[in-house]
Amino acid sequence: MNKTTLGLCLALAAGSCFLTGCATTTTTMESSQKLTSSGLDTQDFAAKGEELVDSLLQRDVLDKAAHHPAVIAIGRIVNDTTLYIDTDLLMKTIRVRLNSNGKAITDTTRGALNTDDYFFSGKIIQPPNVMEGNKTQHTYVLQLSLTDNNGLAVWEDEREVNKLTKRSGFGL
């Protein structure tokens, strides 16, 4: 083999190793493997949304509705945090859970049908972060309310999501 051919073969081999080393692979992750952030993410909405609906279902509020299943108008969840949060992700989790249990159906027209037994609303707040050394605790509070046609809150509950971040000892 002459030097030119040998050089060409080595260059091709090195190039293919370089290109292969930069390849990106994508795999589906199980729930236990998913990464989380210091903000709210889909895992938080799924877990806390289910907890809140379970809290509502443990009370007999929906059994006292004029309609069976109870008709719940879905209002807004106000994002009162420093983050951009797609509150529809949380509300969708809640709606799916309510609609699938047989005790309620949801009106997504925000009460325009005038047949609702209850009105669902909520708020996400973010108290100040707590810092200690290189650790920061981020807290988010999910508050939900179910109000009857007279404007009385017949159920309210809240859940906290706490995240802990650590800064490395390097850098600023």
Check: CB of residue 142 under 8 Å from CB of residue 109.
no
**Does the pLDDT at position 61 exceed 50?**
yes
Q: Give the pairing of strands 135-148 and 153-166.
A: antiparallel
* Cα–Cα dist 145/140, whole Å: 17
Nearest to 52 by CA among 143, 147, 117: 143
**Does the pLDDT at position 91 exceed 70?**
yes
Where are the domains positioned within the chain?
40-164
CA 11 vs CA 7, 20, 21, 71, 92: distances in Å: 6, 14, 15, 70, 54
Give pLDDT tens digits for 119-161. Answer: 999 999 999 888 888 888 889 999 999 999 899 999 999 999 9
Report the half-sphere exposure of 151 (CA within 13 A, side-chain side). 0
pLDDT at 104: 93
pLDDT at 26: 44
Confidence of residue 118 (pLDDT cuts 50, 70, 90): very high
Q: What is the mean pLDDT of residues 80-94?
A: 88
Top pLDDT among 163 and 32 is at 163
Residue 118: Cβ-neighbour burial (10 angstroms; 0-12, 13-18, 19+): buried
CA 114 vs CA 70, 106, 107, 109, 117: distances in Å: 13, 13, 10, 10, 9
* Cα–Cα dist 126/156, whole Å: 18
pLDDT at 23: 55
**Does the pLDDT at position 46 exceed 60?**
yes
Q: What is the mean pLDDT of residues 11-27?
A: 55
**Does the pLDDT at position 108 exceed 60?**
yes
CATH architecture of the region 40-164: 3-Layer(aba) Sandwich (3.40)
